[in-house]
Every structure is written in C-alpha cells, then in structure tokens.
Structure 1
Amino acid sequence: MNQTYDNWELILVDDNSTDKTLKIIKDFSCEKIKVFTSPGSGVSFARNEGIKRSSGEYFMFIDVDDSFVPEYIEKMIDAILKENTEVVLCGYYEVYSKNKMENSLPWSGYYDNDSILHEILPNILYPIHREKKVWFPVWRTILSRESIEKINFDINVSTAEDFLFMLEVFLKSKSVFFLDENLYFYNRNAGSSLNSYISKNMDKQRHSHEAMLKLLKKYNVFETLRERYLLNRESMYTTAISNAVRNKNKREIDKELKKIYKEFKNDKLLKNKVRVFQNEFKVSCPLLLLQMGCLRLLKLIFIFKEFLRLRKFKDA
C-alpha cells in the first residue's frame, strides 16, 4: 500500500479460494492488514463481512487486480472531510493490455439531495440523448459509515450487485461530491465476467431488476424516475441477447433467445412497447426486432457485434 495517507486499515476477505491466495495474504497480515475468510458465499457476502469487521469511519472498496495513484486515499479523505459530505467519487482509467482510457465524471463538485434526485439518479438509471453513460461500481468511491448504515450488499443477487448497492447509497445520501480527478486504475482483463458467458443470465437480470424496482419504491421515487427505469428495463433484454450469443454451445443460443422473447412479450411493466424516441437507435432497433420475433436476424446481428467488440478489446 504505497499511499501518502497512512491512517488506514486493509481488510482482506478470502472467499474460499482454492489456490494459494489465503497463504499469500496471510503472509501480509499485520496490525493494519486484517485477513478473514468466508465460506465461498460470493462477493456480496464477503463485502458485508468486510464492513462488519472494519473499525474506521470511512470505507473504500478495491478490486484485487486493480491499482490506484499514491495520493488516492489522501485526496478522497480530504474531499469527504472538506466538503462535509457522505460520498465522494472520482474518475478512473480503464486499463487494457496495450493502453489505458480515461473515464472522467460528467459532474464536478457538491450535489445536495434534490440535485441527486433530479440530475444524478436519472443518469444512473439510464442516460438518454447526449448524456454521458457513467458506470457506478463501488470502487473509486469513499463512503462514510453513516451513508451505508443499514445498507448491505444483497446476497440474493448475483448480477449488478455494485449497481444496486450504489443506487441505494445515492437514494439514501443527503449529499455527494464528485472529485474531478482520475485516481483509480480499473484492469479490464480478457477473462473478466464482462467478457464471459453467464449461465441463466435472463433469470439473474430479472431478479436484479426486481430488486431495483423495490428500492425505487422503498424511497418513494419510482414515479419520478419511472421512464428512466423502464428504459433501463428495456436494455435488460438487449444485454441478455449479447450474453446469449457468447454461449459456446451454439444449440443453446436459440433456446435462450426464445426465452428472452417470451420474457419480453410477458413483461407487464413494458407492456410489449418499445420506447423508440427516448432510446438510441442501436438499442431501439434490436428491441423492435425482438418485439416482432425476428430471432434469427437478431442472432446474426449480435454475433457480429460480439465479434467486433472482442476485436476492439483485443486491439486495445
């Protein structure tokens, strides 16, 4: 931990690893570095354990293969104390095998609760027109203990755990501060879950969306954010199609597409409608094809899109 700020504790939670990870991290164990094990119950359980075992007033989550600048903790702590806020986010670099790409935030400075509701949350749910798409993982963020009081990572959700956690943080927080600096390095390796086929993805995504809907209703903002939520819900189906074509078992792709089509037709919230004018053409066009049941054409389009995406990723 080569950091200019030294008043930190590092909590490492080994989620029942099967290699030599536990032995390696135990060798680093000391007064400032605490090592715990969890019974292989997943990342959400491990993070909840980390929060429970912590003693500090502020939290930062770090992915094991990522890195950050030496001033990362110091600048984030300074911002959260100086601005007297509950949450601070910074920009980050997306690191590929050959280069890195800047991901700066479209916002800068202090936002109160009303601004969060009308300016930040709509973008979190679904950016429209020329709004910049912003990813909301738990890393590149510092959170006060107060901001996550009574908030846990949902252990029953296996897709978009970070998103749901951060959504509730924003729904609950009185204020947030966006630091206009890129301090974190997110490693986009080829074997990450973002590039892999996910089994039963449609079921997992639907479960995550039900959890999202429940949160919006819990904090009484669903009607305010209804259209953004429905656009997000539409994108669930195109994401599911993208995942389906990554299946190595080509015979299963058609089965998955039929399941996605059936789910879309029976979606009581969407009512078999496509929000053409609110959405980008690259999203609304596949949805219209899905609505019409053009599954073969959809498969060909998304297989080609996946080919282009992987080639771009390989060249990056």
Structure 2
Amino acid sequence: MILALWLGSVNRPPCPWISNQLGSQALWENMELVSIIMPAFNSAEHIQEAINSVLVQTYVSWELIVINDGSTDHTASVVEAFDDPRIILESRPNLGVSVARNRGLELAKGDWVAFLDADDIWAPFKLEHQMARLSGEKVRPGLIYSDYLEFNEKGSWPAKPLKNFPHFRREGMIFDQLIQHNFIGTLSVLADKQSVLEVGGFDTNLKGPEDWDLWIKISEKKTLLFVEEPLALYRQNPAGLSKDYLNYERELEKVYQRHLLKRGTAEQIRFGRWLFYRHMAHGFARQGRHQMAVDRLESAFEQRFLAWQNLASLAYLIKKRLGF
C-alpha cells in the first residue's frame, strides 16, 4: 500500500514551524476544525486508501465530507464501513465535481477547508504542517498549499515543481504568476473557507480547470502561502478528464481568456501561452495525436523561439512518434 511508505514518518521530529514558532502546546490546545471535502464518483477501488490517509493525520481536528456524486459502484458502502463520526457521507445525483465540492462547502463546519479526491493520498503530517505554518502568520492568507508527488500503478513518483522557472514566486501576492500557469495542486490546498465563498466557490461552468480559476480569484484578493515539502500524492489516472486533451484545451482556454489575456502584460501573455502550448503538445503526443502535437509545439516556438525547453519538447514528440 502506497500510504505505508509515509507511515514511518508519523513520529518524525516536529516540522520547523512547530519547533520554531510555537514552542508550547499552543497548536494542540487551540485546534481549529478543518473540513475536508472529497468528491467521489465510482471510486470504490481507491477511496478506502484515500480515507485511510485522512484517518492517520497527526492533526486530529477534522471532519471528512464525502460527496458521493451519483456513483453506480459500491463507493457508498466502502465509505459507510468506516466507523468514525468525523466522516460524513452525502449521496446525490451526478452533477460533476464542481457541484460536489460546492455542496461540501455548504456542509463544512470548519473555517478551513481542504480538498482530497477519492483516488489521491495525503501524507500523515499534511494538515499538521500546514496548520503549524498558519499559526505563525499575522495576516490570515487565502490559502496555503504545498509541493506534491505523482504516482501511477507502476509506483513511479515524478515530482511536479516549477524548477525550470525560478522567477515564479510561490507565495505572497502571486496573482501575476498564477494567471500564467497553474502550479497549485488541489490536493495540497488548505483554504480559508470565507475566502473561497467570497469569490463564489468553484465555477460549475468549467470542466477541468475550475480549481485554477478559483485559486486565481483568491490570489487577486489575498496572500497565498507555500510549504516546500511534498505533502500529498496525486494518482495519475488515464481515465480522468485530463485524458481528453481536446476538451481540456478548450476549458483551459476559457481561463486564459478570463484572466491572463485581460489582465496580463505582453510578456506574461507570451510566457503563459508558451507554457500552455507546450503542455498541450505533450498531451496530444501521449495520445498519439501527432499532428495536433506538432501544431501546438509550433505555436510554442512562436511565443518563445529561443527557449531551450522547446528542444526538449521536440525530442519528447519525436520519442512518442517513434513509439517510445
């Protein structure tokens, strides 16, 4: 079980924010409730592992709200088998992940909300480390997020940071960065519920990048914090929405039109569009849609012709075209 790889770290030394800023038992004496929202659609295969990663959290003041979004498998019975009063299950017709998350927000009793999909996993100290960091802040941020890892059925764990773009700030007032590229993993987010509600929650008209749109809207008004530590595991799922890259491209374009193209500088637009076209080129190449991949990479070259990463993308497209 993937979670077992992290369990040995539960008794690790306290994270820096606990040891350096709290000193006493202040964190544990004044624990704020965290409402965890988990949308689930036909998730019986993986949801037990996801819930287990919540149950072993070293920060214990939480509630888990599972929104069973019209599942036709035995997702509900898997959740009902957990004997913990902190786990709340609501079953409803299938209306999509954004509607499910917004319903979770309506049910949430905590002032902080976190998001975990039913096939992803948290580190046992995920909430502890984020809440400890928050305790040292004078100004309440809109959200705090962290690094995360990706994994698949083969057990590979490639990281997904922005190591090649050091000029991107990861915390503070980072609206200008976020409109160019989404570098926040939803499974890593711990958000101030009021900040989420003030901007209208998840846009149900978007199918895929609704989380990115929400983080942008929050970042326009509030500071964001970042924990430079992988606190979650994202499961690579070929059956997910992002596999339909043509539809995904259309939905991403809506977010670019809404934010970057209206508010960004000329250089920010060039950089954001360059990232977008390279991302889509890689996606189409993985699907074997090679002409679409080439078209998107040509667009990337038009945005930043001399960027060395273009050659890496070209090599990737050639490798996929040759069947590797």
Q: TM-score, normalised by structure 1?
A: 0.67
Q: Aligned partners of 1:188, 1:41: CA distance in 2, in Å? A: 23
Alpha-carbon offset, residue 66 of structure 1? 1.8
Alpha-carbon offset, residue 192 of structure 1? 4.3
Q: Aligned partners of 2:92, 2:195: CA distance in 1, in Å? A: 25
**Aligned CA distance change for structure 1 residues 23 and 154 (closer, same or farther; 3 Å):** same
Alpha-carbon offset, residue 234 of structure 1? 4.5
Q: Name the aligned partner's letter for residue 196 of structure 2.
A: I
Alpha-carbon offset, residue 246 of structure 1? 5.6
Contact 2:271-2:303 at 8 Å conserved across structures: yes
Name the counterpart of 1:184.
Answer: 232
Larger deviation, residues 71-80 vs 83-92: 83-92
Name the counterpart of 1:211.
Answer: 258
SS at match of 2:220: helix
Name the counterpart of 2:320.
Answer: 306
Matches within 5 A, 1:101-250: 101-103=158-160, 111-113=171-173, 116-117=174-175, 121-122=176-177, 124-126=178-180, 135-151=183-199, 152-173=201-222, 175-194=223-242, 196-213=243-260, 217=262, 222-223=263-264, 225-244=265-284
Alpha-carbon offset, residue 244 of structure 1? 4.5
From 93, 98, 101, the equivalent of 2:149 is 93
Larger deviation, residues 85-94 vs 43-52: 85-94
Q: Name the aligned partner's letter for residue 58 of structure 1.
A: W
Q: Say whether residues 1:48 and 2:96 are aligned partners.
A: no
Alpha-carbon offset, residue 172 of structure 1? 1.9
Q: Aligned partners of 2:197, 2:67: CA distance in 1, in Å? A: 20
**Aligned CA distance change for structure 1 residues 207 and 180 (closer, same or farther; 3 Å):** closer
Contact 1:69-1:183 at 8 Å conserved across structures: yes
Contact 2:283-2:293 at 8 Å conserved across structures: no
Q: TM-score, normalised by structure 2?
A: 0.66
Q: Name the aligned partner's letter for residue 146 of structure 2.
A: C
SS at match of 2:225: strand
Contact 1:126-1:229 at 8 Å conserved across structures: yes
Alpha-carbon offset, residue 34 of structure 1? 0.9
**Aligned CA distance change for structure 1 residues 105 and 70 (closer, same or farther; 3 Å):** farther
Q: Name the aligned partner's letter for residue 4 of structure 1.
A: T
Which of structures 1 and 2 has the larger relative contact order (alpha carbons within 8 angstroms, sep 6+)?
1
Q: Aligned partners of 1:61, 1:182: CA distance in 2, in Å? A: 15
**Aligned CA distance change for structure 1 residues 29 and 160 (closer, same or farther; 3 Å):** farther
**Aligned CA distance change for structure 1 residues 71 and 303 (closer, same or farther; 3 Å):** closer
1:2-45 Cα offsets, whole Å, 9 max, x none, are: 11221100010111112111222233375311111342121111
SS at match of 2:183: coil
From 76, 81, 94, the equivalent of 1:27 is 81
**Aligned CA distance change for structure 1 residues 43 and 283 (closer, same or farther; 3 Å):** farther
SS at match of 1:12: strand
Q: Which runs of 5+ in 2 are unaligned?
A: 1-54
Name the counterpart of 1:6.
Answer: 60
Contact 2:146-2:229 at 8 Å conserved across structures: yes
1:28-78 Cα offsets, whole Å, 9 max, x none, are: 375311111342121111111111110101011112122222221111111
Name the counterpart of 1:63.
Answer: 117
Contact 2:151-2:236 at 8 Å conserved across structures: yes
SS at match of 1:100: coil
